[in-house]
Amino acid sequence: MDVVVERDEAACGATVADVFDRAVRSGARTIGLATGSSPLSVYRELIRRHREEGLSFAAVRAFLLDEYVGLPAGHPQSYAQVIRTEFASHVDLAGVSGPDGGSSDLSCAADSYDALVVSSGPVDVQLLGIGANGHIGFNEPGSALDSRTRVTTLTSQTRQDNARFFASVDEVPRRVITQGLGTISSARHLVLIATGEHKAKAVAAALEGPVTAECPASVLQRHLMVTVVLEEGAAKLLGRVRSGDAAGH
């Protein structure tokens, strides 16, 4: 595991963008995209490189981690729309696929999406954020470490955390379709970005605590190729990883 500690959000975004840049220019054909606040600096930097440095995604297909259940198509907070607004509409991606949160058969939609991700071959580079309770994707605490794409229910903490994107917490959907931890772990390279002191406890548990379903992000410890990019506040509770394995900048 390569852990990089950067001074601020912009530096984190540039470091993660370096990983995607190298992969795409080296022939990567599939990337995994995440939503939330932390990845935005990555998308801004990749858009800049596309416009100014010739970084092309024309041969690249993107897969989304998750989607809310029940939001109408085009809703500004549906993750398909967020990715379109923040990234996909600004670059030349070959295509973007995500779970169908509006399906009349959600279980079937989850199974179909999992099969699509698998049949498209391993995702070359998967971007991840981390929730304050240690979730990645929408795999809340208690999720099986080998779980597959499925319909699940958000915790009250996650709904409160995401309420800032809606008019009120009451508007935050209660259910989602998310890639499972097993699905996520099938990617060749996992890249986690975290910023802010409010993520420090979750980051420390994920990187230095036991591998347990109670901290879903701890599954990263089992993966052979992981890059973790942290803003200083998010890294403040790290001990051995930061002082030993980390490649701090």
Residues involved in catalysis? 66, 133, 135, 140
At residue 113, φ and ψ (nearest 5 deg) are -70, -40
Helix axis angle for 9-25 and 40-53, nearest 10°, is 50
CA dihedral 4, 5, 8, 13 (to 10 degrees): 10
- Give exposure, 139-169, as e/b (b: 16+ Cβ within 10 Å): bbbebebebbbbbbebbeebbebbeeeeeee
